[in-house]
Structure 1
Amino acid sequence: MRAVVAVLLCVAAVHAALWGVFREKQEAPNFKGILPSVSYAPFERGHIVADSIADSEKVRADLKKLSTLTRAVRLYSSTEGSELVPPIAAEFGLKVTVGAWIDKNADRNEREILSAIELAKHNGNVNGVVVGNETLYRGEQKIDDLIALIQRVKGSVNVPVTTGEIWNIWLEHPELASSVDFIAAHILPYWEGFSDKQAVDQALIIYQKLRDAFPGKRIVVAEFGWPSAGYNLQSATPGPFQQAVTLRNFVSRAEAIGMEYNIVEAIDQPWKYFEGGVGPYWGILNAAREPKFAWSGPVVDEAYWKLATLALLVGLLMSLPILRLPDATVMQSLILATAANGIGAWAATVFSYWTGHYFVLGSAFALTLGLILLVPLVLIAMARIEEIAAVAFGRKPLRLIIKGAAVAPATMGETVTFPKVSIHVPAYFEPPEMLKQTLDAVSRLDYPNFECVVIINNTPDPEFWQPIQDHCRALGERFKFINAEKVQGFKAGALRIAMDRTAVDAEIIGIIDADYVVQPDWLKDLVPVFADARVGLVQAPQDHRDGDRSLMHYIMNGEYAGFFDIGMVQRNEANAIIVHGTMCLIRRAAMDMAGGWAGDTICEDTDLGLAVIEHGWLTHYTNHRYGHGLLPDTYEAFKKQRHRWAYGGFQIVKKHWRRFLPGASRLTPDQRREFTLGWLNWLGAESLGVLVAILNLIWVPIVAFADIAIPDKILTLPIIASFVVSLLHFVTMYRLRVPVKWGQMLGAMIAAMSVQWTVSRAVANGLITEHLPFTRTSKGGLSRMSIEFQAFWEAVIGVLLLVGAAVLVVTNNFKQVLEIYVFAGVLVLQSLPFLSAVAIAILENSRLNEFSFWRNSAIRTAELIGLRPVALPEVVRNSQPVASEIHPEAS
């Protein structure tokens, strides 16, 4: 324990040191003077002055604050509350450049012109009038019409008159320059994609171009600024440090050359979301009227150490569960503590973003929803990291039953006892020859005291049950045959009938599916575990004997193996295994205490197993294969089986969740944790993946066409990190625990991803329905291939995600916003599970699914490149051609 505590403290110390190392501190020229002018918008566009006293007080408070920073303010409108500014500004000795907003609305334009003229006539502190703001750039007025408006105002006031336009508009229209008293040029390098380090140089270059083009003309840089937040535009990256350094550099150099300039803008305007992600963040004061940076001294983040403290506290809090791990190793603790502190750093980033940005209702809702969805994603990622650490660096499994390990048999005096086992084999329209193989294997069990109850339910066709009845008679009195019709409760109903026909002295019930061929030593090896009176259940893994039927079946078998060699082994350490209905031995007393087979879920096996655990019984697991069944015949059957498991799992969650409350059952905290994380990791992860993918699709047009980017550090990058963790988890766990080759492992990964849509549909069904009918998994070769494409909806969603990514990339080609590229990458990653389903559905009906195709292709390739001599047939008299022998490598 001391070593673990030391590791946690060391990781926390390193985490704190990293915050210290990466603390940003930049130098910039000091400015201790007063700015000549700043842009000021007192109210949101469309504001109506209904309470002039309240509005005047608001303006007065703003201007009082600004009077300590600037000598003048520039307005963009003369109505909507802006008309209150000039007389109040005079109270604080501030000059005002009045603006008249000009667009396509002739009536509004007239009101603006008249108001601007009146303000200039009646307020001695008005030092100029700007008629229109980027009106030509927006294409809302023709140049002749704009010049006419300028001339009209010039004839009505005694102050200089101009218009505000982007610098290149002035160069392109010299006639405009001739019509104004001075040139008011907007130079905003951010919107041209220049970096913050290039911005000031670029502004001075453009300023000189204007001076060269219009010698003797007064030139004012009417807008220069840099946003403190938002998305990048090509090389232009906004940020608090970038804003502070850029503005301080610009002001210092502008003052040195005697430039007239106006900084845009005075105060952040959260309502300017229509200008994209950067619109609200151009102010030198935030919306609370607080300075966003200091004009002298090093540029630093004043709240940095608060964020660091938050990150450390969250990291330590997330690390505390490590102390509960039994015999945690140093490396195991190190990995988990590092991950926990990583989450702490992310939490601090989220807090910083939330407190440092402005949100309208839609963006606040979207961000809140995104963060809510990320919480289970983070928990799932942590659970997977914990499993990696436990398997790779933790202690070896202690409770796993190892083949050949000594297990004390039950004794009575000097005599070894063999508790009677009743093996139940339920069957529903199963191929008779397949079921016969199962019963023959049971008859060969190396155990002296067992019976076998075969129950065929709801199968009226004699061709299915008559051969089995005859076969049971041939196998002897140990085999009991039941043909039950109109059985209620699916498989559970049949097993209840089997229990009624079970020998009264049977102490242990064994369950195997109709396709499982058991090994002779199954009972001999595992029944002795029940010598411990506390043991209620022993589970052996499923496996399959037909994985070589096709490439699809090969990868399916690899996918099944992962659950039984990884998850079940780890859960067994917490006495929290999942019962999966075949190769299972249950103490009869434990079954009776748990209420027997329940028919209210379609996963009656897992339901019963959880009930046994809830009553305090011990369970044990072995990963040795004591039986082999058959894989689903088709991909359609594979998906239907997974849908049944997921739907049944969701039914079990709804049925049992109250028993997970404190004191509601005998479940230990570790058992509650294992089941909760297990459900979250399976049902939650798949459903969450589909939900987030669909929500992201909805966001594509908003991101592509509304200049709103998804914040990468708090939303999209965690999704990518979660995908990387899942990939690392899959590869690491398979290499350490599952004895498969790389090719089968890759195929298993594709098969696992391919059922994401299927599982999510099952969860959705579980939310809106109480019961779905039990569907038998087609095995044994009786099922026919469906003519329908088995991944239609997966193909639709997968293609839409790829199209969405392409749209984002194409529309972002000019802006080159990094967050949009990251979002496009997320869409591609999210398409992989859907495209995996499409790939398997296509594979199933192609020649690529046949092993013979790959063997023959390998031979032909070897012959073509000379690695293998070409084998020519020899013609022998009175015989057919004899091909050379082929010894393909075992796959």
Structure 2
Amino acid sequence: MRTVAAVVALVACVHAGLWAMTRDTVQAPNFEGQLASVSYAPYDASTDPNKGGRAKPEQIRKDMKLLAPVTKAIRLYSATGGQELVPGIASEFGLRVTAGAWVDKDKNRTEREIASVVEMAKRHSNVSSIVVGNETIYRGEFLPTAGETLEPSERERLAAADTPEKLERAREDIGVARLIKMIQRVKRQTSVPVTTGEIWSVWRDHPELVSAVDYIAVHVLPYWEGVPEKNAVESAIGGYEYLRRLYPGKRIVIAEFGWPTAGYNLQGANPGRIEQAVALRDFVTRAEAYGIDYNIVEAIDQPWKIFEGGVGPYWGIYDANREAKFSWTGPITNPDHWRLAGIALLIGLLLSLPIVTMAGVTFWQAVPLAAAANVVGAWFAAVFAYWNGHYFVPGAAFALALGTVLLIPLIVIAFARIEEIAVIAFGRKPARLVQSPPLAPDHAPKVSIHIPAYREPPEMLKQTLDALARLDYPNYECVVVINNTPDPALWMPIEEHCRVLGPRFKFVRADNLQGFKAGALRLAMVHTAADAEVIGVIDADYVVQPDWLKDLVPLFADPNVGLIQAPQDHRDDRRSVMHHAMNAEYAGFFDIGMVQRNEVNAIIVHGTMCLIRRTAMEAAGGWSSDTICEDTDLGLTILELGWQAHYTNKRYGHGLLPDTFESFKKQRDRWAYGGFQIVKKHWRRFLPGASRLNREQKREFLLGWLNWLGAESLGVVVAILNILWVPVVAFLDIAVPDRVLTIPIVASFAVSLLHFLTLYRLRVRTNKRQMFASMFAAMSVQLTVAHAVAMGFIKDHLPFVRTDKGGKRKSTEFPAFWEAILAGLLIVGALTLVGTNDKGVREINIFAVVLVIQSLPFVAAVLMALLERSSLNDFATWQALEARFAALLPRRSALVKPAPAPVQEQRELVP
């Protein structure tokens, strides 16, 4: 325990050191004076102008008191909605006001704005100038529209345009002319300078607009140009100098300069609190030194500005709570850095505490576990920072909360996989794995072996019975139950074969038997010898080794042992490349998962190559038909009663693989649906005191269900949600998933890939080709498992579906149709995101990567289905390709290897 505690402390110290190293401390010019001007909108959470909110005098007065020490003037953008109150209140604090009239296509509103701004200038002496319209030309507010009544000069100008480019320019010229008329109208009614606010290119392209205004109010916002933050001030000053050279003698004011503190990057421009502080302090000091008149956008964050994309609400030098975001003097740091570090370290430490309680944990086993715990802690801190540093409308808050909730089980699964990597790669060797020779060779109770069969090929079943006849064990019987098989050609040869094999082999046939496989096994119990103490179960396609019973039955000498499980394996994995992949995929479960579960007496009973103590079976209530995985159900019940179970990964029997990929999927669907039935049936027995399961057993089963049923189902649900979200991101330019939601998906995939490759290399005897093929087979059933879980929620009982084996049955339907649809949608979605990401937003590209990753299981299913129908599924094709390749490279002829003989491979645990 001391060693593990030291590891936890060491990793926490390293984590704290990383936070210290990553704490940004940036220098920037100090500014100790007052700003020339800041943009101001008198709204808060309770007065959203998008919802008709009206500014409140008390809030305006509080804001003016806050801003008066910081700035000499403020700029408004509207003259209605309560903003007409601002000049009068601002005068109480000695603040000048640049009044603004918001003009757009709504003529009635525009008229109200013009009338109000003129009245403001007449009534308040602190109104120093008027800005008519805000980026009106840039936004195209005054462009002529279809069906609009035009003046003769406007019609002539449009008629003279003989190309699309000239037509577009003519339309813009008309908009400028309309704006000039409005500016001139306001100038006639007031005595203060009048201008309009536009981006630099509008002033460049329209000298007639320059002539119409009293001064140029240029908006220079390098962020919207995609200029990196380090070049922002140079870009702004350069734009100013360009206009000054273009219009010498004309007064120029940088009417907007700012930098957002949150949101998404635009090309090379990155928002952030430190980035804003550096840009503004540098700009203000240089503008003051150069004598440039300027206005900073903006004073206070405006959460309602969601129409400006992800950065819209975050341009203020104060947040929405009226807290300053940075200091104008001294080093610039993130004030929340150490608070976030504390959250990350605390959560990392709490998640590391279970490691201390684990028995037999080695130093190197504890290191990745503690590191993973601290990584999760850092992620939680990032989520907190994102939540604390952003403004949310209800929909966005719901999306973030939903995304976080969906990610939590994904993170738990990733953590469990890291733990399994650590224990297998760095932990102690398995201690409970059954080894040969037997522990009690003289213990030989009678065994009754049950073989349920439903419409099985007779020759296949005869092989199974012949292998049982060769068992090297003195005291056993075989009960063959053929149920619901009316065709005499299928059951009569078996009846005759049992007669030939002798009295040990009992033949039982029943028609109209209820309860599927469980019903057949219950019938077998009726015909079981009274003195049989152990029940053995094998599938009708299994050929067992002679030493199966001799090696394993002696373990029942321990009266606490309730069952013994041997692994499944297959003798036809050389039928095709697809079957080779399937067999390796099964082997992962038996050589990795089952071995580790056995260490805490929590194995899964899988219905063949299984030996069960008769008294344990009877105590558990026998075979039940309320799930279609009666074997796992019975095994779990036996464990819940406190019995011990043993497992060996030595292969004592070999069966047949599913005939087709479709059969492979149907078998996995049955297992997953039955597994979900078991969850619903047994979850109450995991409550304290409800069974004799200990904490480790409960943990192993719960994580196993989550890791299999949960991971696959969650993967499909998140993939579908992301498909639905693609149009929102690609075309509406809002609600881009932040990296706190997407990076964990990428990281989880990386952990799963590492988990698969590492554990296969350490535990499963297979070559690299077969290992990668098995990875495709494992991924290909994600939708199958998710569908089974969904059906488990909808229906309590579905019929048992037999897995086709031993033949060459092929379906005419494409067995991966829906996987192809989902894969196509995800890949098209990723391409759409990248293709429409003109702004170069990194989060969008990461989201596209996530979609590609999520498509891989569905792509794997499509490839498996296509492989089955192609010549590449034949080993001879690959041998021919290798031979052809070797012929092209004579010196490397050693690459051609003869195909291995189809022998029964004996896999054992790799040390």
Q: TM-score range by the shorter chain?
A: over 0.9
What's the CA shift string for 1:472-521, capped at 9, x where partnerless?
Answer: 11111011111111111111111111111111111110000000000000
Aligned partner of 1:735 among 731, 736, 761 = 761
| Residue 169 (str. 1) matches residue 202 (str. 2) | yes
Q: How far apart are 1:609 and its partner, in Å?
A: 0.4
| Residue 697 (str. 1) matches residue 707 (str. 2) | no
| Residue 65 (str. 1) matches residue 66 (str. 2) | yes
Aligned to 2:106: 105
Q: Distance in 1 between matches of 2:721 and 2:277?
A: 36
Identity within the alignment, % = 66
Whichever residue aligns with residue 784 of structure 1, its letter is R
Change beyond 3 A, Cα 1:49–1:800: closer
Q: Distance in 2 between matches of 1:477 and 1:361?
A: 75
Aligned partner of 1:801 among 820, 823, 826 = 826
| Residue 45 (str. 1) matches residue 52 (str. 2) | no
Q: Distance in 2 between matches of 1:224 and 1:68?
A: 20
Q: Distance in 1 between matches of 2:140 and 2:448?
A: 87
Aligned to 1:882: none
Q: Please state whether the residue corresponding to 1:73 is helix, strand or coil.
A: strand
| Residue 328 (str. 1) matches residue 353 (str. 2) | no
Aligned to 1:29: 29
Q: Distance in 2 between matches of 1:860 and 1:738?
A: 31
Q: Number of aligned pairs?
A: 863
Whichever residue aligns with residue 687 of structure 1, its letter is S
Whichever residue aligns with residue 33 of structure 1, its letter is G
Change beyond 3 A, Cα 1:113–1:470: same
Q: Work out whether residues 469 and 481 of structure 1, in 8 Å CA contact, stay in contact via their aligned partners in 2.
A: yes
Aligned to 1:81: 82
Whichever residue aligns with residue 303 of structure 1, its letter is D
Aligned partner of 1:580 among 606, 611, 622 = 606
What's the CA shift string for 1:662-687, capped at 9, x where partnerless?
Answer: 11111100001000000000000000
Q: Distance in 2 between matches of 1:406 and 1:421?
A: 16
Q: Distance in 1 between matches of 2:866 and 2:393?
A: 46
Aligned partner of 1:888 among 891, 895, 898 = 898
| Residue 622 (str. 1) matches residue 645 (str. 2) | no
Whichever residue aligns with residue 13 of structure 1, its letter is C
Q: How far apart are 1:306 and its partner, in Å?
A: 1.2
Whichever residue aligns with residue 602 of structure 1, its letter is I
Aligned to 2:338: 305
Q: Work out whether residues 185 and 219 of structure 1, in 8 Å CA contact, stay in contact via their aligned partners in 2.
A: yes
Unpaired segments ≥5 residues, structure 1? 410-415, 870-885
Q: TM-score, normalised by structure 2?
A: 0.94
Aligned partner of 1:838 among 854, 862, 867 = 862
Aligned to 2:907: none
Q: Distance in 1 between matches of 2:683 and 2:438?
A: 38
* Residues 219-618 of structure 1 mapped to structure 2, 5 A cutoff: 219-402=252-435, 404-409=436-441, 416-618=442-644
Q: How far apart are 1:619 and its partner, in Å?
A: 0.5
Q: Work out whether residues 420 and 505 of structure 1, in 8 Å CA contact, stay in contact via their aligned partners in 2.
A: yes
Q: Work out whether residues 443 and 554 of structure 2, in 8 Å CA contact, stay in contact via their aligned partners in 1.
A: no
Q: Distance in 1 between matches of 2:77 and 2:642?
A: 75
Q: How far apart are 1:864 and its partner, in Å?
A: 4.1
Q: Work out whether residues 182 and 218 of structure 1, in 8 Å CA contact, stay in contact via their aligned partners in 2.
A: yes
Aligned to 1:856: 880
What's the CA shift string for 1:810-849, capped at 9, x where partnerless?
Answer: 111x311111111111111111100000001001001010
Q: TM-score, normalised by structure 1?
A: 0.96
Whichever residue aligns with residue 24 of structure 1, its letter is D
Whichever residue aligns with residue 626 of structure 2, its letter is D
* Residues 128-147 of structure 1 mapped to structure 2, 5 A cutoff: 128-141=129-142, 142-147=175-180
Q: How far apart are 1:561 and its partner, in Å?
A: 0.4
Q: How far apart are 1:294 and its partner, in Å?
A: 0.7
Alignment root-mean-square deviation, CA: 1.3
Q: Distance in 1 between matches of 2:892 and 2:123?
A: 100
Aligned to 2:742: 716
| Residue 91 (str. 1) matches residue 101 (str. 2) | no
Q: Distance in 1 between matches of 2:109 and 2:101?
A: 10
Aligned to 2:679: 653
Whichever residue aligns with residue 661 of structure 2, its letter is Y
Q: Please state whether the residue corresponding to 2:189 is helix, strand or coil.
A: coil
Whichever residue aligns with residue 845 of structure 2, its letter is Y
Q: Work out whether residues 99 and 132 of structure 1, in 8 Å CA contact, stay in contact via their aligned partners in 2.
A: yes
Whichever residue aligns with residue 567 of structure 2, its letter is P
Q: Distance in 1 between matches of 2:668 and 2:559?
A: 35
Q: Please state whether the residue corresponding to 1:509 is helix, strand or coil.
A: strand
Q: How far apart are 1:713 and its partner, in Å?
A: 3.3
Change beyond 3 A, Cα 1:256–1:868: closer
Q: Distance in 1 between matches of 2:199 and 2:761?
A: 61
Q: Distance in 1 between matches of 2:102 and 2:60?
A: 19
Whichever residue aligns with residue 407 of structure 1, its letter is L
Q: How far apart are 1:405 and its partner, in Å?
A: 4.0
Q: Distance in 2 between matches of 1:501 and 1:375?
A: 50
Q: Please state whether the residue corresponding to 2:450 is helix, strand or coil.
A: strand
What's the CA shift string for 1:693-749, capped at 9, x where partnerless?
Answer: 111111111111222354543111110000000000000000000000000000000
Change beyond 3 A, Cα 1:669–1:710: farther
Q: Distance in 2 between matches of 1:453 and 1:139?
A: 86
Q: How far apart are 1:461 and its partner, in Å?
A: 1.1
What's the CA shift string for 1:603-654, capped at 9, x where partnerless?
Answer: 0000000000000000010000000000000000000000000000000000
Whichever residue aligns with residue 246 of structure 1, its letter is A
Q: Distance in 2 between matches of 1:854 and 1:417?
A: 50
Whichever residue aligns with residue 757 of structure 1, its letter is L
Q: Distance in 2 between matches of 1:397 and 1:888?
A: 36
Q: Distance in 1 between matches of 2:897 and 2:846?
A: 49
Aligned to 2:128: 127
Aligned to 2:163: none
What's the CA shift string for 1:45-94, capped at 9, x where partnerless?
Answer: 346467x8xx1111111221111211111111111221121111111111
Q: Work out whether residues 377 and 722 of structure 1, in 8 Å CA contact, stay in contact via their aligned partners in 2.
A: yes
Change beyond 3 A, Cα 1:417–1:189: closer
Change beyond 3 A, Cα 1:47–1:125: farther
Q: Work out whether residues 276 and 706 of structure 1, in 8 Å CA contact, stay in contact via their aligned partners in 2.
A: no
Q: Work out whether residues 440 and 555 of structure 2, in 8 Å CA contact, stay in contact via their aligned partners in 1.
A: yes
Aligned to 1:878: none
Q: How far apart are 1:133 and its partner, in Å?
A: 0.4
Q: Work out whether residues 805 and 824 of structure 1, in 8 Å CA contact, stay in contact via their aligned partners in 2.
A: yes
Whichever residue aligns with residue 56 of structure 1, its letter is P
Change beyond 3 A, Cα 1:752–1:23: same
Q: Work out whether residues 712 and 822 of structure 1, in 8 Å CA contact, stay in contact via their aligned partners in 2.
A: no
Q: Work out whether residues 261 and 273 of structure 2, in 8 Å CA contact, stay in contact via their aligned partners in 1.
A: yes
Q: Please state whether the residue corresponding to 2:729 is helix, strand or coil.
A: helix
Q: Work out whether residues 50 and 304 of structure 2, in 8 Å CA contact, stay in contact via their aligned partners in 1.
A: no
What's the CA shift string for 1:127-161, capped at 9, x where partnerless?
Answer: 11110000100111111110000000000111110
Aligned partner of 1:157 among 190, 197, 211 = 190
Aligned partner of 1:668 among 694, 698, 701 = 694
Mean CA deviation greater in 622-631 or 690-699:
690-699
Unpaired segments ≥5 residues, structure 2? 143-174, 902-911
Q: Work out whether residues 443 and 557 of structure 2, in 8 Å CA contact, stay in contact via their aligned partners in 1.
A: no
Aligned to 1:881: none
Whichever residue aligns with residue 810 of structure 2, its letter is M
Q: Please state whether the residue corresponding to 1:155 is helix, strand or coil.
A: helix
Q: Distance in 2 between matches of 1:120 and 1:273?
A: 31
Q: Distance in 2 between matches of 1:116 and 1:759?
A: 65
Q: Work out whether residues 47 and 80 of structure 1, in 8 Å CA contact, stay in contact via their aligned partners in 2.
A: no
Aligned to 1:872: none
Aligned partner of 1:213 among 246, 253, 259 = 246
